[in-house]
Every structure is written in C-alpha cells, then in structure tokens.
C-alpha cells in the first residue's frame, strides 16, 4: 500500500472549488424544478418534464451530499495523529509530526467552514500570464435585438493598462458587464488568468476583479473612510487582526492615509474616487476596472484619479481596464481597444490608434488635445508627432 501523503492548503482550495461547483449544480437544478412546476400548473409542459427535472435535482443533491460526507480532511487528521503516536515527546521527529497534526486540524476546521459556505471561499489559481482572454464574444439583450457586443476577440497580459473607447452605444458597458459577470455571453467565452469563466465558478473568478464605478457617491456605506475600506474586507471575512494593515496600505497607495478618520461624504469628488480605488485595492484584485471613473469629476479630481491610475500602472502589479470618454486619458494607456457598433474595430498602442485620426473621426471619436495641436502644427509645416503630453510636445518644439 502506498504511503498516505499529508494534505495541504492546495487540496483544501481544490475541495472548496469542487464544493462550489456541486453546490452550483444543486441550486441550478432546484431552480429548474421550481420553474417546471410553475409551467406545469399552467399546463405548458407535461408532468414527465417536471419528473425529469426532479430526478436531476435528486442526483445533484446526492452528489453534493457525497462530497460533503467524503471529507478527506477527516482521514488526513487521523493519519497525522496515528503518525504522531509512533513518537515520544523526547524524539526530535515528534515536533515535526506535531506540526503536521496542527496543519491537519486547521485543514479539517477550514473544510467544515467551507461546507457551511458551500465552497464559496475557494480561489482559482493563476494558470497563465494572460490576465484576460476574450474569444468570439457575442451578446444581445433580446433575441430580436442586434448584437450589443459582436464577436470580440482580445488578449491582455498581466500588468497592462488598457483603455476602452467608443462612441455612445458602441458596447463598452455591455462588454464590461460581461467581464464582471453581470451579463452572461450569448456565445463565446472569457478566460481570467487561464481559467475559463463558467456560471459555476463565476463568484470565485470575480475575486480577480475590482471595480471603480462612475459615481463616487453611490459607493459609500461607512461613516469614516476607514470603515468604508473595511466593509469589503468584512464581507470577505478577512481576519480582523489583519484588517488594520491592509486598510493603511490601501489608503497610502491612493494618498488618502491622512483621511482615514474623515467622513467620506465630506470629501471632494477626486478624493472620494481615490477612496473607492483604495476599497477595491484592499481586496487585492489582479484586475482593476475603471468604469468611466473620472467622468463625474471636475478637472482637478480627474487629474488626481488619472495620476493614481498611472502610478498603479507603473508598479505593473495590476492589470487595468479603463472605460473612458476622456480621449486624453488614452495616452496613459499601454493599449487601446476601440469599440464601434459592438465590434472591436482596433486594438493597439495609443500611437498606432492615433496614427489614423480620420478613422477615429469617422466613428465620432475626438482626438486627444495634444494630438490636435500636433495636427495643427503639421498643417503649418511643423512636423511633431506622438507626444504623450503637452510638456513633451513643448520640449520637442523647443529642440527644433
Ligand atoms: N438594458 C438594455 N436593454 C436593451 N438594449 C440595451 C441595454 N443596454 C444597452 N443596450 C443597447 O446595447 C448597445 C450597446 O450599449 P452600451 O451601453 O454597451 O454602449 P456604451 O458604449 O457603453 O455606451 P455609453 O458610452 O453611452 O455608456 C446600444 O445599442 C444600447 O442601446
């Protein structure tokens, strides 16, 4: 017989993911039974169809129960205890095995919590450096509507900052809602760090994502900035002892450390958005989505938030998506996705995108201010191109 290999936190995570999957099947099949019964009461379907769904539900229930009853961590602890009984406290090996027993106890305790939570605490591993892969993605709100997202394919690497631009109604919000799992694709799929997102792992896949919305006022719950950042952490059941440090670190990243005891509603728009970014950062997402996060801010607030985004980009620790109407912002990005009528019509660096200004105008997009100045200078015979900022443009002119 092969020797029993002690289990680790890796197996605990796999156990949670599996529980989540079985629980999802169970919930889904129970919903099907409820819908079938309602339809049967209106004589829209036969009793045989209801019975078929009831059978599926029973199978899903048995599968879930089997998984719960076959808790491998019970056996694991038994093995560890048996191993420990072979040594006396005077043996050096005793304390080594004692650590194994402690780990086995921890895993068993955690597995029981996971069973109560029905596996929701599981985490997907990063299987690839591609943060987001979108394949043949299509979505329409109703079967007789045109596709709001129509055959989008794209791959974005970890650490990149991607701006998503497009005229009103081009499909930017719909695309972001699919990425965050609010809308289910009509066809096609997305992968997050190599994990194909399905309805059963959606809640777990979401842990890779943090979102900052348009209106900062809709995001506050706490009476102080500190409480507000803590809110998400409490939801995730982060140990209270660890929270203080996480909150401080997140607040420092957005230069809001001095404001931890302030009331969120008294802050300026830019400060509020920075707190919203800190709240997202506290949960350590690998991908941050800014959904028109600067559009409601005054110029000062806009700059504050855009500067934080650039600081985050420079660390290369997060992958950033920014849905924006602010064409000047795209100069900060590594890549730009241009959406038009549900299609991704261009994907490239800001320079590549701005090299065809006529095309951008043809789909009703403005040109960044600095690029407009370059264009005006070119018209009077002074060729300067691809400046990332007005300062850079002025430097180039002065060198001529
Ligand atoms: N809830 C909905 N029901 C039906 N159609 C919708 C719905 N939401 C959006 N649409 C349609 O889907 C298409 C894409 O809209 P979407 O909001 O994704 O574009 P957008 O680029 O984000 O626009 P904006 O910049 O104005 O926010 C549009 O034709 C829009 O009318």
DSSP code string of 41-101:
HTTSS-HHHHHHHHHHHHHHHHHHHHHHH--HHHHHHHHHHHHHTTS-TTSHHHHHHHHHH
Give the structural domain span for 67: 9-116
Q: Identify whether residues 109 and 31 lie together within a single domain.
A: yes
Q: Identify whether residues 258 and 376 lie together within a single domain.
A: no
In a domain, 203, yes or no: yes
Residue nearest to atom 1 of ligand 1 (CA): 141
In a domain, 122, yes or no: no
For residue 177, the ligand 1 atom closest to its alpha carbon is 18
In a domain, 326, yes or no: yes
pLDDT band, very low/low/confident/very high, at 137 (cuts 50, 70, 90): very high
Residue 200 tokens, joined? 């059963």
Provide the domain count of the chain. Answer: 3
* Number of other CB atoms surrounding residue 217 within 10 Å: 11
Q: Identify whether residues 268 and 165 lie together within a single domain.
A: yes
Round to whole Å and give the CA distance between 371 and 378: 10
Q: Identify whether residues 165 and 46 lie together within a single domain.
A: no
- CATH number (domain holding residue 150): 3.40.50.300
Mean pLDDT score of the chain, rounded to an integer? Answer: 91
* Number of other CB atoms surrounding residue 233 within 10 Å: 19
Of 84, 116, 148, the residue that ends a domain is: 116
Q: Which residues, judged by CB distance below 6 Å to any ligand atom, belong to the binding site of ligand 1?
A: 141, 148, 166, 168-174
Q: Identify whether residues 284 and 392 lie together within a single domain.
A: no
Q: Identify whether residues 137 and 30 lie together within a single domain.
A: no
In a domain, 337, yes or no: yes
Q: Rounded mean pLDDT of 49-71?
A: 90
Angle between helices 240-253 and 269-282 (to 10 degrees): 140
**Residues 6+ positions from 65 with CB-CB distance below 8 Å:** none
In a domain, 123, yes or no: no
In a domain, 35, yes or no: yes
In a domain, 124, yes or no: no
Percent of the chain's residues with pLDDT above 90: 70
User: If you search the block for the tokens 């934080």, which residue do you land on?
Assistant: 308
Q: Identify whether residues 268 and 340 lie together within a single domain.
A: yes
Q: What is the pLDDT of residues 339-355, one digit of tens each?
A: 999 999 999 999 999 98
Would you give the distance in Å from CA 361 to the centre of its chain? 32
Per-residue pLDDT at 1: 44
In a domain, 2, yes or no: no
Of 116, 142, 172, the residue that ends a domain is: 116
Task: State pTM to two decimals.
Answer: 0.83
The best mutation among 144, 174, 289 to test binding of ligand 1, ranked by most ligand atoms within 8 Å of the C-beta, falls on 174
Say how many Å lie between the CA of residue 322 and the centre of ligand 1: 17
Q: Identify whether residues 161 and 52 lie together within a single domain.
A: no
Secondary-structure breakdown of the chain: helix, strand, coil percentages, each rounded to the nearest 5: 55, 15, 30
Residue nearest to atom 25 of ligand 1 (CA): 168
Q: Identify whether residues 153 and 258 lie together within a single domain.
A: yes
The best mutation among 138, 148, 324 to test binding of ligand 1, ranked by most ligand atoms within 8 Å of the C-beta, falls on 148
Q: Identify whether residues 232 and 268 lie together within a single domain.
A: yes
Say how many Å lie between the CA of residue 388 and the centre of ligand 1: 31
Q: What is the pLDDT of residues 99-132, one digit of tens each?
A: 999 999 999 999 998 888 888 788 898 999 999 9
Q: What is the pLDDT of residues 229-279, one digit of tens each?
A: 999 898 888 888 999 999 999 999 999 999 999 999 889 999 999 999 999
Residue 2 has pLDDT above 70, yes or no: no
* Number of other CB atoms surrounding residue 67 within 10 Å: 17
Residue 373: C-alpha distances to residues 320, 355, 388, 397 (Å): 28, 14, 12, 12
Round to whole Å and give the CA distance between 219 and 73: 40
pLDDT band, very low/low/confident/very high, at 400 (cuts 50, 70, 90): low
Residue 144: C-alpha distances to residues 139, 148, 340 (Å): 12, 12, 20
Q: Please tell me whether residue 138 adopts helix, strand or coil conformation.
A: strand
For residue 142, the ligand 1 atom closest to its alpha carbon is 4
Say how many Å lie between the CA of residue 218 and the centre of ligand 1: 21
Angle between helices 390-399 and 369-379 (to 10 degrees): 30
Q: In 167-249, at which residue ranges do the beta strands (DSSP E only) sit?
A: 187-192, 195-196, 209-212
335, 160 Cβ separation under 8 angstroms: yes
Residue 237 tokens, joined? 């059941």
Q: Which of 30-34, 117-121, 171-175, 183-187 has the lowest mean pLDDT?
A: 117-121
Q: Identify whether residues 310 and 173 lie together within a single domain.
A: yes
Q: Identify whether residues 292 and 157 lie together within a single domain.
A: yes
């Amino acid at each position: 017989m092969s020797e029993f290999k002690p289990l680790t936190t890796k197996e605990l995570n796999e156990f949670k993911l599996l529980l989540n999957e079985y629980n999802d099947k169970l919930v889904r099949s129970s919903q099907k039974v409820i819908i079938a019964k309602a339809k049967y009461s209106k004589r829209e379907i036969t009793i045989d169809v209801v019975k078929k769904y009831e059978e599926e539900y029973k199978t899903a229930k048995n599968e879930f129960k089997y998984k719960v009853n076959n808790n491998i961590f019970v056996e694991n602890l038994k093995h560890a205890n048996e191993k420990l009984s072979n040594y006396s406290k005077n043996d050096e090996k005793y304390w080594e095995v004692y650590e194994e027993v402690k780990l086995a106890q921890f895993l068993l305790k955690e597995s029981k919590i996971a069973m109560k939570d029905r596996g929701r605490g599981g985490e997907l591993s990063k299987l690839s450096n591609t943060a987001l892969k979108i394949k043949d993605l299509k979505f329409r709100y109703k079967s007789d509507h045109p596709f709001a997202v129509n055959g989008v394919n794209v791959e974005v690497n970890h650490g990149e900052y991607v701006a998503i631009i497009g005229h009103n109604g081009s499909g930017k919000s719909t695309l972001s809602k699919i990425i965050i799992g609010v809308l289910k694709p009509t066809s096609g799929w997305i992968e997050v760090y190599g994990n194909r997102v399905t309805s059963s792992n959606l809640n777990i896949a979401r842990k890779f994502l943090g979102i900052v919305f348009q209106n900062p006022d809709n995001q506050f719950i706490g009476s102080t900035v500190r409480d507000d950042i803590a809110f998400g952490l409490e939801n995730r059941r982060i140990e209270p002892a660890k929270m203080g440090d996480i909150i401080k670190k997140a607040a420092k990243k957005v230069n809001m450390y001095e404001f931890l005891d302030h009331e969120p509603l008294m802050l300026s728009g830019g400060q509020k958005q920075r707190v919203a970014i800190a709240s997202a950062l506290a949960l350590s997402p690998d991908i941050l989505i800014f959904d028109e996060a600067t559009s409601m801010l005054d110029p000062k607030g806009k700059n504050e938030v855009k500067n934080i985004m650039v600081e985050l980009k420079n660390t290369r620790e997060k992958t950033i998506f920014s849905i924006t109407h602010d064409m000047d912002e795209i100069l900060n990005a590594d890549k730009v996705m241009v959406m038009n009528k549900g299609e991704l019509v261009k994907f490239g660096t800001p320079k590549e995108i701005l090299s065809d200004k006529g095309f951008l105008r043809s789909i009703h997009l403005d040109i960044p201010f600095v690029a407009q100045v370059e264009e005006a200078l070119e018209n009077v015979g002074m060729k300067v191109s691809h400046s990332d900022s007005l300062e850079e443009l002025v430097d180039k002119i002065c060198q001529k």
